[in-house]
Chains A and B, each alone.
Chain A
Amino acid sequence: DQQVKQNSPSLSVQEGRISILNCDYTNSMFDYFLWYKKYPAEGPTFLISISSIKDKNEDGRFTVFLNKSAKHLSLHIVPSQPGDSAVYFCAASGGSNYKLTFGKGTLLTVNP
Chain B
Amino acid sequence: NAGVTQTPKFRVLKTGQSMTLLCAQDMNHEYMYWYRQDPGMGLRLIHYSVGEGTTAKGEVPDGYNVSRLKKQNFLLGLESAAPSQTSVYFCASSEQQPTGELFFGEGSRLTVL
Query: Taking beta carbons and an 8 Å cutoff, which residues of A are in contact with B?
Result: 6, 9, 32, 34, 36, 41-46, 49, 51, 89, 93-105
Question: Once bound together, how far apart are the Cα atoms of A102 and B102, in whole Å?
Answer: 12
Shortest CB distance B34–A (Å): 11
Question: Given known contacts A46-B103, A96-B98, what 16 new A-B pairs fall within 8 Å (CB)?
Answer: A43-B4, A43-B104, A43-B106, A44-B102, A45-B104, A46-B101, A49-B99, A89-B43, A97-B98, A98-B48, A98-B56, A99-B33, A100-B45, A102-B44, A104-B40, A104-B41
Could you say which of B42, B50, B106 contacts A98, with CB atoms under 8 Å apart? Answer: B50
Task: Give a binary string over B73-113; 1 marks a CB under 8 Å from any A CB, 0 the rest.
Answer: 00000000000000000101000011101111111000000
Taking a contact as CB atoms under 8 Å apart, the answer to whether B104 and A98 are in contact is no
Q: Which of B31, B33, B98 counts the most chain A CB atoms within 10 A?
A: B98
